Amino acid sequence: MINDDSITLKQLTAIKQDRMLVCETLQKRLRTTIPVYDLCTSLELQSVELPRERILDKTKCHMAFRDLAEKRQITQTAPHCYGNDFDTVTVARRFQCVAIADVWMHYARFLSLKELVVLIDNLTRRDRRLKRTTLEYLHESLKKAGRFQGRRKCLQALRLAKENTDSSYETRGRLALMQYGLPCPEVNYPVKLANVTALLDMAYPIWRICIEYDGRHHAAQWKDDNRRREQLERKGWVIIKLFAEDLADDNSEERAALRVAQAIEQVTGKPFPLTSRQTLERLSDGRRWRHNTLQCGSSLSSDGDTTKIHTDLNEYDAMMRSEAFWQSAERPA
């Protein structure tokens, strides 16, 4: 069964409280040693939704060490040693954690590119209570970091990440659409309705196509959702609903992308053929960003002519800082 629950602040707080009890017990046992928590342990203590991976043992407290001489094998802990320095923060006045940007870089060797992008989106949420950092800060942190395992993957993930999202499933849905040749949709796109401004999960404004992820949290607000849908449709919007089952595997994601492509064809009157499934590594290739072939952040043609889909390099430079940044990031000191 697919778990389509969105992780709420209340759930993250409960997870944090449980982890704090475990860490407190550990610190009493260690007495004079002050551990620095890393990876999933650090994220739990800082109330961040975990990415998907099956390598790290979540039952253990993961600890970071700066050199091999400090590394210790302690029962119910998982030690990790790093050649590069890392920043720390204090949680609840008594728990030392690896800082968010460094946790993200440490995770690179354990995560797929997709989940590394998901982690960035989780860290840069629209909700200020869940927002832990910004894309700009992650850019700067990576630029300053030395060589480490997974650096290139971090660079690729930054190119695909979107700030101010609301759900990890929305992130996975956005990436799935792009893998079949669809443009990168706008996230949380604002549309003025009768008495409120609605934020659409994902949208192609030029075609008035909205893609909404419908998780279990929507069940309690179905009346409001239906009213909002009616108002959007009156404004000419086409609404496509995605569920967890639509992101279950490659075939499901292709069918979801086909629904969006068919909606574009319905609006424009012209076919919008999908590509074969592309890897995220290919989509994040720096050459594709620099030579107008990646559609993320693109200016879309309303008449459906896919040859007119292009990247606005001025907008891209503003978003991705500068060409010099990427060159320096690709060639670490």
Higher per-residue pLDDT: 124 or 1: 124
Higher per-residue pLDDT: 170 or 329: 170
Predicted pLDDT of residue 246: 95
Predicted pLDDT of residue 253: 97
Share of the chain above pLDDT 70, in %: 80
Q: What is the largest CA-CA distance in the chain?
A: 71
Q: Are strands 238-242 and 310-311 parallel, antiparallel or unpaired?
A: unpaired
Q: Residue 125: which pLDDT band, with cuts at 50, 70 and 90?
A: very high
Q: Residue 212, Cβ neighbours under 10 Å: how many? A: 19
The residues pairing with 240 across neighbouring beta strands, listed in sequence order, are: 211
CA atoms within 13 Å, Cβ hemisphere of 247: 23
pLDDT tens by residue, 22-52: 999 999 998 878 899 999 999 999 999 999 9
CA-wise closest residue to 104 among 185, 24, 46, 170? 46
Report the mean per-residue pLDDT for the chain. Answer: 85
Q: Span 55-70, mean pLDDT? A: 88
Query: Does position 4 have pLDDT exceeding 60, yes or no?
Result: no
Q: Residue 216: which pLDDT band, with cuts at 50, 70 and 90?
A: low
Question: With a threshold of 0.75, does the pTM exceed it?
Answer: yes
Q: Residue 67: which pLDDT band, with cuts at 50, 70 and 90?
A: confident
Predicted pLDDT of residue 2: 40
Q: Span 203-211, mean pLDDT? A: 96
Alpha helix (H) residue ranges in 207-296: 222-234, 250-268, 280-283, 286-290
Q: Residue 308: which pLDDT band, with cuts at 50, 70 and 90?
A: very low
Lowest mean pLDDT among 154-163, 189-198, 308-317: 308-317
Predicted pLDDT of residue 219: 52
In Å, what is the CA distance from 320 to each residue of 89, 167, 289?
A: 27, 23, 10
Query: Does position 70 have pLDDT exceeding 70, yes or no?
Result: no
Query: Does position 311 have pLDDT exceeding 50, yes or no?
Result: no
Rounded CA separation 300/309 (Å): 5
